Amino acid sequence: MISLRKVNKTYKGLAGSVHALKDVDLFVGKGESIAIMGKSGCGKSTLLNILSGIDRPESGELVINEAVLSNFNENELAKWRGRNIGVVFQSYQLIPTLSALDNVLFAMELVAVIPAQNRRKRATGILTQVGLGDKLKKFPNELSGGEVQRVAIARALANDPPIIIADEPTGNLDSITGDQIYSVFEDLSAQGKNLIIVTHENISGRKFDRVIQMQDGILN
Amino acid sequence: MKAIIINLLKGFWLAKTKFALCVLASALSAWGIGTVAYSYMMSERDFKENFEQSNPANIILALNDSTSTFTDLLKKESSIQSLERRETVTGRIKNKRGNWMSFILYASENFENPGINKYKITAQTGQDTLQAIYIEKNGAGFLDLTTPLTIQFPNHAAADFASSGLVHDPGLPPSQMEQTVYGFAPIQTVGNFLNKSRRTLLIRLKDSEANATELKAIGKTLSEKIESNGGKVVGLIVPPPGEHPHQNIVDSLSFLQKSFGLILGGLGVILLSLILITWLYPQITNIGIMKAIGASTQMISVGYLTVLMMIILIGMVVGMPLAYKTAKFYSGFIAGVQNFEVVNTAFSLYIHALILLPAILIPILVASSPLLKP
């Protein structure tokens, strides 16, 4: 369960301040998958950063699975995020010096919720699940865009988080590869994970419980 | 944290040249900083143990005083701590090739146990000290000490003297540099060659911190006192306080050495900082990723700093022994220029740690700025 109440976020820059989120209210039920759509600069990424605990709101309340995020300090928040949120970025953001398997293992080692003796088996299993069982030892620069994004999804699943958040996950991919990625997300949703995806692309035909439009920092 | 360290080391394993450059830069900075610090401390210690321990005279007065009346008068002066007669006679000595070379003889009334401008008898041949001359050890190479020494003083025919042994006087420049042999003898041995009415007095004052101007003023006051009592002062010398006769050479060499050391150290630190920064700035993305997937700032900082420390410490292992060897060689050379004996060059652990500190801290502080970014 995810609950946002009256969340506000403003960025101050040289050109003045930008009110990125304006009194945002959002409730996401357990296992629900939602897509947040809107144009560039409408505040989608800011919302994701706040949902994932990477950024903090100026005001308002954010409760995720009974955890009040504003009560956590930086270290507690990092630990909580590692256990509860899997993040998938548009630009993949894998560690370039680690292989596909090591990238997934790295996420497990940082958070250490999966017992050390189970990690390799689990990482191999997840990568196989996303169709990369034969590319475990490949480095990110040896993989295609779609494959790299699937490694990123595998990494997001490494610690078996209940919530997966994806920021424009198919933004850099062709339509066929995009379909493959969404197919992976649909599988995850079917497994009961909360799925929150923000995108400005057309998602007609994709399976989401809800599609929410966002404009100028306001959810419609 | 372990995962971060392993990840960083894997990164270095894939970029070995970068790693080697980091270590090299770290070694260079340690070498530069260490050389300056070690050689400064070694030279200071040599100076203290050699020159300062010789209790150098503050004032040298030459007066006509055949009966020691005025010497006794000076002994009562409240500003004087001690005084000692030391006459100087210049002459020439035959070297082992049979050629004449400059010779300066120091005739001391307190020969075996001098209290001012102290020298040390380092070797004795068993000859009676009242009948023979000691040679300053740096001049021994010019002479054949197994045969009698042929020495000629002004207005006297050349005469043979036995060599009683060797003396080390850290207050004198080395014979090799001056092309002069220095001899030491009791006044009784060489009395015939001295000016009978002349007394040259080495004076140590109670105020050992007095500067050159103050010393000159005191010397002048003492001279006036002697002359007001009917005496005649024929010479007043105030050696520059705290300075060796070769101080200018030493200062010049020291300046060059320190400059090069500091340049080397500075360049090493800058190079290391730059390499670390060029390594760390692209890591900002990775740091962001790590935070996003559950690493705390504390974990990341400790992980990166551990790897930074590893690089710097490997550099230290290479650089510090080099610095120590360079400093030892340099301070040995400086000691040679000053006619000093090299004091034990070992240092206690905290001195090594003190030298390591800037070589470690400066690059760490410079390089860790990307880690401190929120």
Which of B6, B16, B286, B293 best tests the A interface by mutation, with the highest count of A CBs <10 A? B293
DSSP track, B320-367: HHHHHHHHHHHHHHHHHHTTPPPP-----HHHHHHHHHHHHHHHHHHH
Give the integer Cα–Cα distance in Å for B85 and B105: 13
Q: Is B26 helix (H, G, I), strand (E, B) or coil?
A: helix
Give the integer Cα–Cα distance in Å for B314 and A185: 47
Helix H or strand E segment including B214: helix B212-228
Closest residue of B to A48, CA-based?
B292
Closest of B187, B106, B181, B120 to residue B149, by C-alpha: B181
Angle at B202 between CA B196 and CA B204, to 5 degrees: 155
pLDDT per position as a tens digit, B212-257: 899 999 999 999 988 898 888 999 999 988 888 778 887 887 788 7
pLDDT at B374: 53
Q: Are strands B59-64 and B198-205 parallel, antiparallel or unpaired?
A: antiparallel
B298 contacts in chain A (CB < 8 Å): 75
Domain boundary assignment for chain B: 2-51+246-372, 56-237
| B7/A75 Cβ within 8 A | no
pLDDT per position as a tens digit, B351-371: 778 777 877 777 777 766 666
B288 contacts in chain A (CB < 8 Å): 93
Residue whose structure tokens are 């100076």: B47
Give the integer Cα–Cα distance in Å for A76 and B297: 11
Closest of A3, A18, A20 to residue A60, by C-alpha: A3
ipTM: 0.83
pLDDT at B59: 93
Q: Is A185 helix (H, G, I), strand (E, B) or coil?
A: helix
- Better pLDDT: B140 or B308: B140
- Better pLDDT: B37 or A29: A29
Chain A residues whose C-beta is within 8 A of a chain B C-beta are: 52, 54, 74-75, 78-79, 81-83, 87, 89, 93-95, 97-98, 102, 106-107, 109-111, 155-156, 158-159
Give the integer Cα–Cα distance in Å for A3 and A26: 6
Mean local confidence (pLDDT), B310-336 = 88
DSSP track, A42-107: SSHHHHHHHHTTSS--SEEEEEETTEEGGG--HHHHHHHHHHHEEEE-TT----TTS-HHHHHHHH
Q: What are phi and psi of A160, to 5 degrees?
A: 50, 55
Could you say which DSSP state residue A108 is in?
H
| A109/B3 Cβ within 8 A | yes
Q: Is the pLDDT of residue B325 over 60?
A: yes
Domain boundary assignment for chain A: 2-219
Q: Is-contact A125 B37, C-beta < 8 A?
A: no
pLDDT at A142: 95
| A94/B294 Cβ within 8 A | no
| A52/B294 Cβ within 8 A | no
Strand partners, B124: B165
Burial of B78 (0-12, 13-18, 19+ CB in 10 A): exposed
Order of strands, sheet of A67-68, starting from the edge strand that comes earlier in the sequence: A16-28, A2-13, A59-64, A67-68
| Among candidates B4, B7, B298 on the partner chain, residue whose Cβ is nearest the Cβ of A97 | B7
Give the integer Cα–Cα distance in Å for B217 and B211: 10
B299 contacts in chain A (CB < 8 Å): 78, 110
pLDDT at A8: 93
| B291/A110 Cβ within 8 A | no
Q: Are strands A33-37 and A210-215 parallel, antiparallel or unpaired?
A: parallel
| B294/A106 Cβ within 8 A | no
pTM (2 d.p.): 0.69
A95 contacts in chain B (CB < 8 Å): 7, 286, 289
A87 contacts in chain B (CB < 8 Å): 292-293
Q: Is B203 helix (H, G, I), strand (E, B) or coil?
A: strand
B41 — pLDDT class (breaks 50, 70, 90): confident
Helix H or strand E segment including B151: strand B149-152
B294 contacts in chain A (CB < 8 Å): 78-79, 81-83, 107, 110-111, 159
| B7/A106 Cβ within 8 A | yes
Mean local confidence (pLDDT), B112-137 = 82
Q: How many CB pairs under 8 A join A and B?
A: 62
| Contacting residues for A172 by C-beta, under 8 A, at least 6 apart | A90, A91, A92, A145, A149
pLDDT in tens, chain A (220 residues): 899 999 999 988 777 888 889 999 999 999 999 999 988 888 888 998 899 888 899 999 999 988 888 888 888 888 899 999 999 887 888 988 899 999 999 999 999 899 999 999 999 999 998 889 999 999 999 999 889 988 998 999 899 999 999 988 888 778 888 888 888 888 888 888 999 999 887 777 788 899 999 999 898 8
Averaged confidence pLDDT in chain B = 85
| B295/A52 Cβ within 8 A | no
B297 contacts in chain A (CB < 8 Å): 74-75, 78
Q: Is-contact B131 B162, C-beta < 8 A?
A: yes
A97 contacts in chain B (CB < 8 Å): 7, 10-11, 14
Which CATH fold topology does A2-219 show?
Rossmann fold (3.40.50)
| B290/A93 Cβ within 8 A | no
pLDDT per position as a tens digit, B264-303: 778 877 887 787 777 777 788 888 888 888 888 888 888 8
From A55's Cα to the closest Cα of chain B, the distance in A is 10
pLDDT at B129: 53
Could you say which DSSP state residue A169 is in?
T
Q: Is A2 helix (H, G, I), strand (E, B) or coil?
A: strand
